[in-house]
Structure 1
Amino acid sequence: MKLNIVPARTGITWVKLGIKTFLQQPLALSGLFFMFMALLSVATLVPFVGAALALALLPAATLGLMAATQEATKGKFPMPSILISAFRAGQQRKRAMMVLGALYAAGFLALMAVSALFDGGQFAKLYLVGGKITEELVLQSSFQMAMWVALALYLPLSLLFWHAPALVHWHGVTPVKSLFFSFMACYKNFGALSVFGLAWTGVFMLAAIAVSLLATLLGNPALAAVVMFPVALVIVAMFFTSIYFTFRDSFVASEPDDSAPKPDNFVNPGDAS
């Protein structure tokens, strides 16, 4: 396995591929995304440990969506069972994915604990347990500080786990090494990932503007809120579809097939700095 460094403009390509692949299998990929959301939602209902369980399942569930995207790129219809691919790849990789999930849950809960130092845990409680959001609460400076601290800490956490599930599943990398390789790949391709994130933000904003204009033309501004919810869900499903391509183009096998595209620049993750 080697790290492939891509130009920043590749971020746009990833977005285009995500949208194109989703439109090739819209029913399958949207259905799997809703199953993904339902799985995590049901996990949160488990007494006492629901939030932690949902967090621990997130890497494996995300891998399932990536595997579904891989199937779609081959012209195949991804079946619902693909969502649990992480737990069907043998005992060793299943255990590794469970360890990865535990590490993610621990990391996320740790950053929430840090944010609690700034507002007494109000933001963390609202995010993990739920509750009523009030204007008074949101306007509190301590609550806002806790929110920004959590967001700042989540960036490095997300970089650590961005490619980790796929590295564990497809390359058999150990959980700890997968975190290192994932972080280095994101660091080396940070330009492409930044463009990727900005492009998806632009897609969402354009969709919101289009829905608002349509509602205005129809003379029913309230329609915008009703229509935007399903539109937003579809966009998020497309986003998750595109994640597979960020991994596919960032790592290649050490001895790729002759038919595989030959990237211009390889860097061994162990030598990256």
Structure 2
Amino acid sequence: MKLRIVPARTGLEWTRLGVRIFWRQPMALAALFFLSMAAISLATALPLVGPAIALALLPSATLVMMVGAAEASHGRTPTPQLLLVAFRTGRQRMHAMLTLGALYAGGFLLIMGLSALIDGGEFARVYMGGAPLTREVAESGSFQAAMWLALLLYVPLSLLFWHAPGLVHWHGVPPVKALFFSIVACVRNLGAFTVYGLAWTGVFLVAGMIVSLAVALLAGLGLGAGAAGGVMVGTAMMLASMFFTSVVFTFRDSFEAPEPARPTTAPAPLDDGAD
């Protein structure tokens, strides 16, 4: 496996492909994302260990969307069977994905623990859904300091796990090495990832303005808040699905797969979305 260095403009291409491939299979990919998030939400409801299990499932959920996008890129329809893709490619890779999940959960909980040293755990409780966010809490200096510390620490955690699920699943890289290769690839292609982030920020802003206009129109027509809420939730779900659809293209262009032949579900070569 060899790292690829891509020009900064590739970030725009990753965004374009995410949007384009999503619209090839919008219902299937949106359903796949919804089911992944639903599974994580159900895990959260488990007593005591639920939040930790939900965190551990996030790398697998990312992989589900990566494989789903790869399937859509090849003209195939992603199915709900992909929800178990992380656990159906052999015992060794299943254990590797479980290890990734445990490492992610441990890293995230460590970040929450460090933030708790600043504000006594208020931010962690709000973020994990254990406490309401009031105006008084939000304006607290210690709460804001804890929030920014958590955000700062989450960036390297995100980079560590960005490519790791794909490296484990498609290339059989051990979990710790996958984390190392992932963050190196992100840092070496920082220009492309910066453009990628800015491009998605633009997509979200434009979509937000369109939704705001749609909500105002619904209000002007006398329709209830339920309709406006449905539009906002549906748009958020669609945008999140598109974003996660694009992740596989960042992976494809950041690594050169080893020879001989790759697994049949490998994302390379992926269709570039051209008609």
- The TM-score, its normalising length taken from structure 2, stands at 0.90
Q: 2:235: which partner in 1?
A: 231
Alpha-carbon distance, 1:131 to partner? 2.4
Over 6 Å off, 4+ runs:
none
Q: Is the 8 A contact 1:19 1:238 kept in 2?
A: yes
Q: Is the 8 A contact 2:168 2:175 kept in 1?
A: yes
User: What SS does structure 1 have at the residue aligned with 2:3?
Assistant: strand
Q: Which amino acid aligns with 1:235?
A: L
Percentage of matched positions with identical amino acids: 59
1:218 and 1:161 mapped to 2: Cα distance? Answer: 41
Q: Is the 8 A contact 1:212 1:224 kept in 2?
A: no
Q: Could you list the per-position Cα deviations for residues 32-58 of structure 1 after superposition, in whole angstroms to 9, with x for gaps in the alignment?
A: 010011011001011001111011111
Change (3 A) 1:217 1:99: closer
2:13 and 2:145 mapped to 1: Cα distance? Answer: 35
2:216 and 2:42 mapped to 1: Cα distance? Answer: 37
1:22 and 1:111 mapped to 2: Cα distance? Answer: 33
2:111 and 2:234 mapped to 1: Cα distance? Answer: 31
Q: 1:169: which partner in 2?
A: 169
User: What SS does structure 1 have at the residue aligned with 2:6?
Assistant: coil
Which of 248, 253, 256 is 2:252 aligned to?
A: 248
Q: Is the 8 A contact 2:93 2:169 kept in 1?
A: yes
1:217 and 1:55 mapped to 2: Cα distance? Answer: 38
Q: 1:190: which partner in 2?
A: 190
2:214 and 2:70 mapped to 1: Cα distance? Answer: 35
Q: Which amino acid aligns with 2:104?
A: Y
Residue segments in structure 1 that go unaligned for 5+ positions in a row: 262-273
Q: Which amino acid aligns with 2:20?
A: K
| Equivalent runs, 1:54-203 vs 2, <5 Å | 54-203=54-203
2:219 and 2:31 mapped to 1: Cα distance? Answer: 32
Alpha-carbon distance, 1:211 to partner? 2.1
Change (3 A) 1:88 1:220: same
Q: Is the 8 A contact 2:218 2:228 kept in 1?
A: no
Q: Could you list the per-position Cα deviations for residues 217-242 of structure 1 after superposition, in whole angstroms to 9, with x for gaps in the alignment?
A: 56639676552221121101100100
1:220 and 1:249 mapped to 2: Cα distance? Answer: 46
Q: CA RMSD in A?
A: 1.8
- The TM-score, its normalising length taken from structure 1, stands at 0.90
Residue segments in structure 2 that go unaligned for 5+ positions in a row: 262-267, 270-275
1:247 and 1:134 mapped to 2: Cα distance? Answer: 39
Q: Which amino acid aligns with 1:249?
A: D
Alpha-carbon distance, 1:212 to partner? 2.0
Q: Could you list the per-position Cα deviations for residues 85-113 of structure 1 after superposition, in whole angstroms to 9, with x for gaps in the alignment?
A: 11000000000111111011000000110
Change (3 A) 1:62 1:218: closer
Q: Which amino acid aligns with 1:121?
A: G
User: What SS does structure 2 have at the residue aligned with 1:249?
Assistant: helix
Q: Is the 8 A contact 2:122 2:143 kept in 1?
A: yes
Alpha-carbon distance, 1:194 to partner? 1.1
Change (3 A) 1:218 1:129: closer
Q: Is the 8 A contact 1:204 1:232 kept in 2?
A: no
1:218 and 1:127 mapped to 2: Cα distance? Answer: 31
2:28 and 2:260 mapped to 1: Cα distance? Answer: 29
| Equivalent runs, 1:38-49 vs 2, <5 Å | 38-49=38-49
2:252 and 2:82 mapped to 1: Cα distance? Answer: 18
Q: How many residues are matched?
A: 259
